[in-house]
Structure 1
Amino acid sequence: MSILLFIYALLLGSFYNVVGLRVPVHKSIVKPRSACSNCHTVLSPAELIPVVSYFIQGGRCRHCKVRLSPIYPLGELLTGVLFVFAYRQFGLSLDAVIAWTLISLVMIITVSDIAYMLIPDRILIVFAGLFIVERIADPLTPWWDSIIGAAAGFFLLLLIALASKGGMGGGDIKLYAVLGFAMGVKAALLSFFFATLYGAAIGIIGLCLGVFKRKKPIPFGPFIGLGALTSFFFYQKIIDWYLSLF
C-alpha cells in the first residue's frame, strides 16, 4: 500500500507543480501540454516521469540543455514522502484525508509563492471548500474550534500586516484562515510559532550564504506550510514535551 501510495503521490506532486506555476498567471492546468520554459519544446511522457526524468537528464532540458529548477523533483519527492508518512500516522481514515489535503495545499502554495510571491485566491477557495466538507465529516472537538481557528489565523496575520505596514501579504493572511479552520486555534497558533522560527532561521542562513538579499522580500508561504505540517502532525507530542519540562 505504501509503495502504491508513494507512486501515486509522486504523480500528484508533478501535477501540483503545474498548478502552482499556471494558476497564478491565469493559465489552464489542462492545456497546453507541459513544455520547456526556455525552448518551449513539448515534453514527451518519458521526460515527465516524476523525479526519475530529472536525474536521468542531469537536471537539464534534453533539448536546449538549460538547467531545470530542482523545485520540480523536490516537490514531487516531498509529496510522496509526506503522503506515505500521513498514511503511516493515521491509516486509511478521515484524518489521513485531511492530512493529504493539507499536504496538497502546502505543496501548491509553496511552488506559487516561490515562483511569483503570490498565493492565489482561487487555490485557497478550492481548498477551503475541501476542508469544510472534511471537517463536517470529521469535526474537531469542539466543532466550533474550526471557526475560532479560522478567525484567529486571519486576524493574527492581519494585525501583523497592519503593524508591519505590508510586511505580511494578503495571500498569507487568507492562507492562515484556511489553515486555522482545518487545524483549530491551538494548532494554528503553534504552527505560526514554527513558521516564524523556520523563516528566521532559514532567512539568516540564506543571508549569510548570499542566497537572499537584505531588504528584498522573501516568500513566507513555504514557511507557513512547513509550520502547519509540523503542528498538524506533532502538536500533541510537542505540547506533552513542553509540559514535561515543568
Structure 2
Amino acid sequence: MKKMMIAASCALAMMASGVQADERDLRIAFDVPYEPFEYKDENGDLTGFEVDLAAAMCEEMQANCEFVIQAWDGMIPGLVARKFDLIMSSMSITEERAKRVLFSEPYYITPGGWFGPNDFDTDVTDMDAMKGKTVGVQRGTTMDTFVTEEMGNIVTIKRYTTADDMVLDLEGQRLDVVFVDYPVGEQTVLSKDGFKEVGESVKLGEGVAVAMRKRDKAVAEEVNAALRTIKEDGTYETIMKKYFTYDVKI
C-alpha cells in the first residue's frame, strides 16, 4: 500500500488556500468511537469500515492521508476552518448540510434502528404509548432530526456526543430506548445481554457521503472516481463483508 500517515490526534495547521487536485496530502476526520464505522481496536489503532474504506480510497488516489479524530459537534466547523480536508464519518447527506459542505456521491446507506431492554414492549410508532418515554440519540445526526421532528412534543430527548455514552445511560436505565444507526446499535447494544431491537428500522436520507469544502471541486471529482473504482474492482465488497453481514452499498 502506498504511504499512509495515520494519526489519532488533532489536525496540523491548515494551508491558507483550498486543496488543489494535484496535491496529495489530505487530512480525513473521523468521530471516534462509532463502531463499526470508526473506533480503536485493542491495540489502540484506528480501524473500522470507514477507516478501511478511506485507506483504500487514498491508495487509489495516490494520496498521503493523515487520519485525525474530531468530535462530531465540531466536524463541519473544523472542515470550514481548514483543520482537515475531508469528513468521512457517517455523515448523511441533508439539505441543510449541503448548504455548508460539498458532498461526494453517497458510499453507503443504513437505516436507523430502535433498541432497548428486553422488557420494553411499547410500540415506538404509537405516539400515545411513547408519551413520557425518554429517547437517546446522538446529537446532530439524522436520527436526532427524525426523533425531534416526529416525537419532539411527545418524548423526552436526551442527546449524546458519543454512542458509547448513550449506551451507558441505556444500561443505567436512564433511557427507555435509543434510536441510532442500525449497525452501531447492533455492535453497541445487541452485543450486550438484556437488550433487543424494539421497532422496525427506518431508512433516512439519501445516504452517507464524504464531505469537503465547497471550493474543493477538483478533490471531489477525484474522491468520486476513487470510490467508483473500489466499488467496481471488488475492494468495497471485501471491506463491507469484514464488518457487516448485510449489504450497505448504495
- Report the TM-score when normalising by structure 2: 0.29
Structure with a larger share of its residues in strand: 2
Structure with a larger share of its residues in helix: 1
Point out which structure has higher relative CO (alpha carbons under 8 A, 6+ apart): 2
